[in-house]
Each structure stands twice: as C-alpha cells, then as structure tokens.
Amino acid sequence: MAPTPGILPDRALRALFDEGAIMAGHPLDADQIQPASLDLRLGTRVWRLRASFLPGSGRRVSERLQSDFTMHEIDLTGGAVLETGCVYLAELAERIALPGDVAAAMNPKSSTGRLDVFTRVIGDGAEAFDQVPAGYAGPLYVEICPRTFSILARPGDRLVQARLRRGAHAPTRSVTLSVDLAPANGGPVGYRAKRHSPLVDLKKVGAHDPAAFWEPLHAIDGHIVLDPGEFYILASREAVEIPLGEAAEMAPIAPEIGEFRAHYAGFFDPGFGVETAGGKGARAVLEVRGRDVPFILEHGQAVAKLVYEPMAGAVETPYGTAGSNYQAQGLKLAKHFRAPG
C-alpha cells in the first residue's frame, strides 16, 4: 500500500530522526517535535550579510558565504546580539536527508513572528525561500532580520519550524479571518511596538516588561490607522479550531491590497483551539506591519485566511495537551513578555 499523502505527524517526524533522515550533533530537545512540525535550532555560527541572497541551482550556501556578500562571522557560543535593520544568516543545528517523496516547508515560530523578527530558511541550491524539495540532503540555514527589537541569541534557540509533507500540497478548505477591533471586555484591541526598546533575550520567557516594548492600542469608532513601517499585534474576531486530522497555515487574504502584511508565523498544528486539548476555541494572533501609506483598518475587515490540509497519519500529542504558551489564547504578546498589567 502506498504511503498516505499529507503533513507528517509527530510520530513520523520522530521516526525520520531515528532513521537518520533528520540529523543533529546532539539529541533533540524534549519538546522540539510538535504535532505537525519540527522546531529547528540555531547552530554556533552566524554571518552578518550585506544583503539577502539565494544560492541558486547547483550552488552551495557555503560557497556564497566566501564572497563579498559576507561582512563578518559571529560565534554564537557565548551569545550574541542580532541588531535591528541588519541581515544575518545562521547555520541550523539540524541537517536533513529527506525521502524522495517528502518535501519541507518552513515558517517562523509564533514567538518569532510576534517579536517582529523576519526569518527565511534556505538550503544548498535553493531558488526559493522556506521551500526544500523532496529528496533534499544537506545543511539548512536561516536568514534572520530583526525589524523592531534587537535580540540576544544563543546556540539551540529556536526561531523557525519545518513542516514535512508527503506528496503534493492538497488544501481541503480555507477559512477567512477578520480583525477584532471591538473587544467585549473594553480593553486594548492590540499593541503597537515601540521603537528603540531594550534587548529581547530569547532565553528569558516571561521576563520582559511589556510596557518597555509595547503601546496599548485602542480603536476609535471601530477602526485604527496603520502607520507605514510600524508593527502591530492584533487578534482575529473568529475563534479558530484545527481538527486532529488536519493542519493549517495562515495566508494573505488579498495580496493585491498591498497596504499591510497580516502575518509572519503561519503554521497551526492539529489540536489548536480544540476543546478536548484545552482550547475551547482560540483566536489567531495577527502580526501586522503597515506598508506604503497610512491605512484604515476596520472592525471585521478580512485580513487573512487559514488554509487547511490533511495529515498523513494520526497525531500522538495534539497541540496544547503537553503544555503550550498559546492554547486558548486571545490577544497575546510573545511568550517572552509578562502579561500586561
């Protein structure tokens, strides 16, 4: 019988690691395998780049790093600050040797997106970001560009995740998400990031004062104005549930609008928001950046969509059942910040 197509679940990801299709210099962290994705860890070396690049067909990333693309190399062993407005390329601890019928897609983790850290993964021969073809064998690297907050990073920090898929991308349905600018509790509708904020230490969960980084945002008559270049945390009006037999990814609702981007981190795992996994319906947090001109965002305006896709097998540990920072969430900042007072 042919293997079932779809997104590989946690048990299949664990089997790939045991078989040597996913490799690292040290064992996987206990929570590194998620229900439908694998967190990828930073290695020890980072390169400060003049500009982003793709290696191109037949070319290794290491070869391109020998060119004048590279400004200098940074050793992450003792921790290093990655500054806003700079482009870095970091080696990842994991290498892969994918089966011939399995491809990978990458995305920032939820906390990465909520910190406004722009990331994209590449491998040798890559002609596109965040896409690794079926059968690829080789190293992985992540481009890191902090947009608002500088970050303190160390080896083992996890900024991105990989979702492995057997067979072609086969969406089953999509659900439109709209923005909530009229919360029932009368509190803020979102948060706007402050410029020139302190450093975010990626290891310190729940240790940063949100008042030093974020300004609460209140809507006037059910709308807000997005300023060009500013970063916002908002929430969907709809409660989201991801059934155990499906995974989902957030995508733009209308790229032609062009005045804002409504997501960075896009993977939703099976069990997210599901009541039996402690969810009872969870909002999708929207990482929004204004673009070229000021733009009025209205309560209930469609801003993104969730595209659902079948799993290739049963999930052992649904999202939320083994603990999660974002299950049953409403409007929520990244896990690095204390709850706003």
**Average pLDDT for the chain:** 91
pLDDT higher than threshold 80 for residue 243: yes
pLDDT higher than threshold 70 for residue 141: yes
pLDDT higher than threshold 80 for residue 258: no
**263: confidence class by pLDDT, cuts 50, 70, 90:** low
Q: What is the pLDDT of residue 291?
A: 85
Q: Do 173-310 and 6-166 have the same topology in CATH? A: yes
pLDDT in tens, 264-296: 668 999 998 886 544 466 888 999 988 889 999
pLDDT in tens, 27-86: 999 999 999 999 999 999 999 999 999 999 999 999 999 888 899 999 999 999 999 999
- The architecture CATH gives domain 6-166: Distorted Sandwich (2.70)
58 vs 56: CA distance, rounded Å: 6
Q: Domain locations in the chain?
A: 6-166, 173-310
Beta-carbon contacts of 26 under 8 Å, excluding residues fewer than 6 positions away, are 93
pLDDT in tens, 180-239: 999 877 789 999 999 899 999 999 999 999 999 999 999 989 999 999 999 999 999 998
Beta-carbon contacts of 216 under 8 Å, excluding residues fewer than 6 positions away, are 187, 188, 191, 340
59 vs 95: CA distance, rounded Å: 17
7 vs 239: CA distance, rounded Å: 23
DSSP designation for 12: H
pLDDT higher than threshold 60 for residue 312: yes
pTM (two decimals): 0.93
For the chain, give the percent of residues with pLDDT over 70. 92
pLDDT in tens, 128-138: 999 999 999 99
| Closest CA relative to residue 114, chosen from 300, 328, 304, 284 | 284
Task: Report the run of H or E that residue 22 belongs to, with start and end.
Answer: strand 22-23
49 vs 142: CA distance, rounded Å: 12
Q: What is the pLDDT of residue 329?
A: 64
| Region of residue 68 (phi > 0: left; psi between -120 and 50: alpha; otherwise: beta) | alpha
Q: What is the pLDDT of residue 277?
A: 47
Say whether 297 sits in a helix, a strand or coil.
Answer: strand
| Closest CA relative to residue 319, chosen from 234, 251, 248, 255 | 248
- The architecture CATH gives domain 173-310: Distorted Sandwich (2.70)
